[in-house]
Structure 1
Amino acid sequence: MKKLFFIFSTILFLAVTFILSSCNSTKENDMKLPNGIWRATLQQQEGAVLPFNFDVNYSNNNDENDTIPTFTLINGEEKILLDNVTQTGNTFTIPMHIFEGEIVAEWNTTTQKLTGKWNRRSFTNASSLDFSAVPNTKTRFEANQTVKFDLSGKWETYFLSQGDSSAALGVFEKIETADVKGNIKGTFLTTTGDYRYLFGSVSDDSLYLSCFDGSHAFLFVAKAEDENTLKGKFWSGKGQPVDFISTRNPNFTLPKADTLTYLKEGYETIAFEFPNLDGKLISLDNPKYDGKVRIVQLLGSWCPNCMDETNFLTELYSTYNPKGLEIIGLAYEQTEDFEDAKVRLERMKKRLNVEYEILFAGRADKQFAVQTLPMLNHVMSFPTTIFIDKTGKVRKIHTGFSGKGTGEYYDNYVEATTNFVEKLLSE
């Protein structure tokens, strides 16, 4: 009898323990974040705070029970969906789109705050920054409504680092509504690309701009000495700040992107042989490319400017491939391992709906890249785009890419490139 009582008591104890454990687990897994716009911050060098916004949504996922949220990064007009979120208790892991990194943060129901780290993995320069976020806050920068100067327009800019300077073109546009004054958007164009979608505020005589896209963490803070001069600092990721000075100049231009990279003397064509994502070696001698107009894109899945160009080339390919256009992407990745690179590139192709061939060309290093393409004078930027006619001759090489965040510069590039491709196809 005692033995039966002991067995019954043990079974009852285990059952109650299981039920209580299940209830607690369910309670933890049912923990939800508030829907809507959040304000997040990253802690950078010298006490700088980079703010950005994201949207939390529980009805925008493949989860039938709406228990796992999606996050959407917001940089002005740009929206980047982060939909592979996982949750363990009150800890959320948020992968960064196609990029190597994630935010890992814990939700505190008492303080109503997410706190944790943004971890960015890189072949040569991995980093981690403190992250925090609060819900129901659309404001990016805490700014007053007083705007001393209209900073819209074009600005000749120089970034000053270790006794050297690099030129850029700042392009800003104010955004005002009846309720809000001082919002501003824009970007900086350089010879190798642009700083993508910057968004922020003008408060009194100060300019604040930021961008966080999962790979880049950019913060610009400047003071207007007068209506034509800006002096400030620029933070990128975990790096030390860089001074910059901008002067209003509507006529300032950068060197033409089609003149910076070119074939060495004696060359008219390019040649390469790299594996595709199935491991098959592919070259321009492949019969698939005979008599076709070809675009060779040097890119990396880690590169937001490359993502912008890939979006454009994907549309171009869809329109003109039936008419004889082929595109081959040469991916220089932040890994030397083929299988690792394959995972990253397949993820990129799926996310960006890329239908053209992507080859793994090796590690993400400009000096290494030019060794694989020794007919080029250099590889100055990812992306770099090579246009080849039906006879196999290189007709143009474009360095860098100006994405949609550059406004008219993007529109002009799209028009010029489309016209050039049509010309090559008609020859």
Structure 2
Amino acid sequence: MVARNFLVAILAVIPAAFAQSITGLWDASMQINGLTIPFRMEFTAEGSNVTGAFFNGDERFTSTGGRLEDGALRVEWEHYDSRLEAQWKGDTLTGSYTHGGRRGGSWPFTATRHTASPAADANAPSIAGLWELQQVRSGKRESTWRFIVQQSGGEVSATTLRVDGDTGGLTGVYHDGKFVLSHFDGSRWALMEVKLTNDGELEILSDGKTRMTAVRPAEARSRNLPPPADFNTHTSVKDPNEPFRFRFPDLNGRMVSNTDPRFRGKVVLVEITGSWCPNCHDEAPFLVDLYKKYKEQGLEIVSLSFEEGDQLKNPKRLRAFIRKYGIEFPVLLCGEPEDAKEKLTQAVDWDAWPTTFFLDRRGLVRRVHAGFPSSPSAELYREAIADFQSEVVTLLGEPRP
């Protein structure tokens, strides 16, 4: 009888204990510029330690630390200079998300336990594939962006790919005659309504204010509309017969130069980056893997990082960026983002974060690649990875000078 009563007591406690755990998926939203941006999050708790994760497609962007004490949740993404602070009551989180840096702010945050989304309209039209957004507003000498859509019935994931990278993966469903898509991954956000017109075009309302039209690439060419920017010709150098020069301090104040023995006779990728830049975060894990794969064959990578003034004085976020991605190649502090054009004197038409200069064993620039996509760019993401690797292998195969 005692054993039976004990078992009944244990079984009664288990659901309550589970209900008190923050672990699991949450349906979150933030209020940004008068818009409600819905997105999905995941929390994992071990005691009072909590890990939070945003999503970019199937990728998880995990926190660097977090605590839950007496219902007060604080989760940090140090490599974004960001934090989530919320009160947890039952199945609800209420608080704010603060993001530092150039595109920062503090926004109201709410979340509830994840529940199954309403079924998408079974009569959703097919919009899957590649589109081109026309007459876009860009300060980077481009008038067309790629719009990449993946679709399963009424469910859609999509991203806008610009010359500097993409917007992250927006997800959503078809309802009331339109697709409603949204995205937030800790450093960038987007909200989009997409309608297919009778003419086979897409009418898009972006972030509640910008209207755009998308057509298929073949239709764009038949109308003589300008194509999207070419990542490999968007930026160049003044004199390809002149070695590419750099000389900046690392985070310990030691000067690092292209003439250092470390780089002599090596293939070098010079990366123009900043820890405030979302697309630079997209690229960092790939560069780390690329370096590990080819460094013994003579590959070097150096990041020329341009940071805001407070980060130059105390590069806390940049150090967290380096730790987060396990960067082993040199990262140099080069000035503020506004200083970049003045300091990159050999570059022509440079305006994309990130940008990669491919240097051969003589130190000459053989190619410049603008931007970098993330996994929601699908085939174009895979093409970028293959393109980088192919260029590195080609340059490594050339004889030493």
Distance 1:128 1:138, change over 3 A: farther
Q: 2: distance between equivalents of 1:272 and 1:307?
A: 22
Q: CA deviation at 1:90?
A: 2.2
Asked if residue 355 in structure 1 is aligned to residue 318 in structure 2, the reply is: no
1:243 and 1:168 map into 2 onto residues whose CA distance is: 14
Give the counterpart of 1:246 among 214, 231, 254. 214
Task: Tell me, in whole angstroms, the C-alpha distance in 2 between the residues paired with 1:369 and 1:421.
Answer: 25
Amino acid at match of 2:196: A
Corresponding residue number in structure 1 for 2:126: 150
1:261–1:378 contact (8 Å) kept in structure 2: yes
2:349 pairs with 1:378: yes
Q: 1:34 to 1:159 in 2, by over 3 A?
A: farther
Residues 1:337 and 1:203: Cα distance change in structure 2 (over 3 Å) = closer
For 2:367 and 2:136, the matched residues in 1 are separated by: 31
Alignment of 1:84 with 2:65, yes or no, is yes
State the 1:205 CA deviation.
2.3
In the alignment, does 2:157 pair up with 1:167? no
Task: For structure 2, list consecutive stretches of 5 or more residues without a partner in the other structure.
Answer: 1-18, 221-226
Conservation of the 8 A alpha-carbon contact between 1:38 and 1:55: yes
Aligned equivalent of 1:36: 24
Distance in 1, matches of 2:366 and 2:386, equals 17
Alignment equivalent of 2:114, drawn from 136, 140, 152: 136
Q: Which amino acid aligns with 2:126?
A: D
User: Can you list the C-alpha shifts for 1:337-370, whole angstroms capped at 9, x where unaligned?
Assistant: 53422x22221111111111111111123xx201
Q: Distance in 1 between matches of 2:106 and 2:254?
A: 37
**Structure 2 counterpart of 1:49, one-letter code:** T
Work out the CA distance in 2 between the residues paired with 1:396 and 1:250. Answer: 28
Query: How has the CA–CA distance of structure 1 residues 82 and 138 changed in structure 2, closer, same or farther, with 3 Å as cutoff?
Result: farther
In the alignment, the residues of structure 2 paired with residue 165 and residue 323 of structure 1 have an alpha-carbon distance, to the nearest angstrom, of 37
CA distance in 2 between partners of 1:159 and 1:52 (Å): 29
Distance in 2, Cα, partners of 1:305 & 1:313: 13
Superimposed CA distance per residue, residues 358-387 of structure 1 (whole angstroms, 9 cap, x where no aligned partner): 11111123xx20111111123311100000
Q: Indicate if the aligned counterparts of 1:296 and 1:329 stay in contact, CA closer than 8 A.
A: yes
Distance 1:391 1:356 in 2: 20
CA distance in 2, matches of 1:395, 1:262: 9
TM-score by length of 2: 0.86
**Greater shift in the superposed pair: 408-417 or 321-330:** 408-417
Choose the corresponding residue for 2:252, options 278, 283, 288.
278
Report the RMSD for the aligned CA atoms in angstroms: 2.5
Residue 49 (structure 1) aligned with residue 49 (structure 2): no
Choose from 170, 176, 190 the match for 2:162. Answer: 190
Between the aligned partners of 2:135 and 2:206, the Cα distance in structure 1 is 8
Percent identity over the alignment? 27
Question: 2:57 touches 2:376 (CA, 8 Å); kept in 1?
Answer: no
What TM-score results when the alignment is normalised by the length of structure 1?
Answer: 0.81
Q: What is the distance in 1 between the residues matched to 2:306 and 2:158?
A: 29
Q: CA deviation at 1:32?
A: 4.8
The structural deviation recorded for 1:154 is 1.4
Structure 1, unaligned stretches of length 5 or more? Answer: 1-30, 60-65, 177-181
- Distance in 2 between residues matched to 1:138 and 1:362, nearest whole Å: 47
Q: Is the 8 A contact 1:97 1:214 kept in 2?
A: no
Q: Which residue of 1 aligns with 2:53?
A: 72
Q: 1:260 to 1:33 in 2, by over 3 A?
A: same
The Cα shift of 1:91 comes to 2.1
Runs of 4 or more above 4 Å deviation: 159-162, 250-253
Alignment-mate amino acid for residue 127 of structure 1: G
Structure-1 residue corresponding to 2:369: 398
